Structure 1
Amino acid sequence: MTRTTAHLASLTAFPSISADPNEDLIRWSAGIVTAAGGRVQVLAGAKPGKLNMVASFGPQTGAGIVLSGHSDVVPVAGQDWHTDPFALTAKDGKLLGRGSSDMKGFLAACLSAAERADTTRLTRPLHLAFSYDEEVGCLGVRDLLERLQAENFQAEGCIIGEPTAQQVGFGHKGKIFGCFCCHGQPAHSANPALGCNAIGLAAEMVGAAETLQAELLATGMRDAAYPFPVTSVHVGTIKGGSALNIVPERCDVEFEIRNVAGEDAHALVAQLRARAAEIIARRGQGRIEIEIANEYPGLETAPEDPFAAKILAAAGTSPCKIGFGTEGGLFQSRLGLPVVVCGPGNIDRAHKPDEYITQDELDQCDAFLDRVIASLSA
């Protein structure tokens, strides 16, 4: 067992589901970093038991490199695991455990890389940034970035270690998500004309979302680097009604928009709001509110950026764009840093039962991080 694998076993044992505190995991990680000679800040989050961590090695000034990842994982309830999801288990050439790919494998590699590094030779600093609650909308990293902004934090660039099979991701779509909150008027179903059916309002809003998607497919901005090359408009859940014989008073439709660079997601929401107003005006009753729950920006780093080119050389792979969101756009927009996404494991294994990573993937990440850290001594 390598040091990285040992750290992954320890990290996996912390059941740091987003809904629960991550304090124990962060304080354990802070202990590892402190023992390795790092300067550690453990930062309280917006909720009790939620912590971020920033650690630095080497000089206290200069444009260093940030290695960043989130400490939370998605739930395991209702999934058919064949091993204990919170005990790293070696089986059939795989290391199984919740978060092994997404993304505690990278956190473990960061900790062991810091232990291996000869920090006395660093001419620029190495930074580690561990956040909370990424899986529920990139929430915790916003607190961390606010603190770094206040400290006038500077760096050459940031690597987000989400699982990309060590490919270097230069971009991903932004995301905005929320609810079509449809309000009707209850009545007995025997005389529905006395009421206003909120589910009917919701159905029209689902149609409006589908129409908008069709328009984007026809005339929207395109980026062929993505498997779905245009901005996506997606409806994920519908909740409405209380009984079959009651005209439903309320129906909520959760939706998301994942926008390519250059496509204004807020302008698309405005189009949906205009459509909602048209529906209510035509019907002459009811109410539709569009509430935004959260959003995060996309990531767009030029492959020719010097930092990006350096990381591409260290990874020895080709550039790509990734189909999922990360905290990278927030690092880029709030700190003005060039950001790439590169880490061990595969996103296709994430959020599923029997999530896994392999020892070879961890070893490749170890070698990659050693090359990145060596560049700080040049």
Structure 2
Amino acid sequence: MNAISRRIVVGSAVITLALTMAACGKAGDKSSDNKKDKTIGLLLPDTVTARYEKFDRPLITSKIKELCSDCTVQYDNAAGDAAKQAQQVSSMIARGVKVLILDAQDAVGIKSSVQAAVDKGIKVVAYDRLAQGPVSAYVSYDNEKVGELQGQALLDAMGSSATPQTKIVMINGDEADPNAAEFKAGAHKVLDGKVAIAYEQSGQWKDTVANQKVQAAITSVGKANIKGVYSANDTMAGGIATALKANNMSSVPLTGQDADLTAIQRILLGTQSSTVYKAAKPEAENTAQIAVDLLEGKDFKSVADTTKESGSKDQVPSKLLDAVSVTKANIKDTVIADGTYTVGQVCTADFAKACEAAGIK
């Protein structure tokens, strides 16, 4: 082989190698892009409410994996800090997520973060709470109906003692949560005119704050005058039940929401009269389906079959589910029948007799 031939062969080899490496680089880039394109962010608001870590996070994650085996889920929890959640949205943007599932700690304050995500081409799915801003979809329960269920359950528990002169206490949720306003509106729709609301404050979704508010209510209204307590969720009901017990008022009807295990056990003992069961699985799975549909560019409106106006006046495609009121009479047919809790989890030694009396075995 002469020198010219050798140069041609060597040159061809170099070109072939370069093309091969370039092709590998492009393939690698594409693979990396595909992986990046299949990243879904999940941001939950707090760790105080038991359902988020126990049910919502694992159910959403597992359903996404079932629908999209090569999807990646990036997760963060705001731990009740709205500023921290805004930082987490920025982090999700930097990580290159393509869809963000957001349960807003502050539905109003998060608006600019939602806009920033959308400006980067990220689709935002509002979960459980309807964040302001250009969200693509919203999944929750019909929150005003939840409030109606709570109000009616309180009236039912009060029975004949519920009169327009009968005094009750209302402890509402965090005013930064738009759901809290809807629960409140629904409860008022049922309670107004049927009982007298003698004291009404926000418990900020915290058991400690709710406890303090009820202690203040007992002082100002008088414990003999309080015939019922509306609590917007079970976390606050726990603090309220403690306050009622300290004042020998444990038999006063008390509402809740979320069907927390401790609330179910309080209902069995009679220190809480009701809760509202919003099954986590359908909410989580509908959200995961919409998120994957958005990721893959599919039509999600067969799932989001209605619309809801957000606080920023956006008309948001929505999925609104129906909740169920839970009392001692239907614990077995709701949270146990659905597999949310086993009999063993509910009927521990301290609650065995109460379970037996309620027909739960």
TM, length-normalised to structure 2: 0.25
In our comparison, the structure showing a higher alpha carbon Rg is 2
Whose strand fraction is larger, Structure 1's or Structure 2's? 1
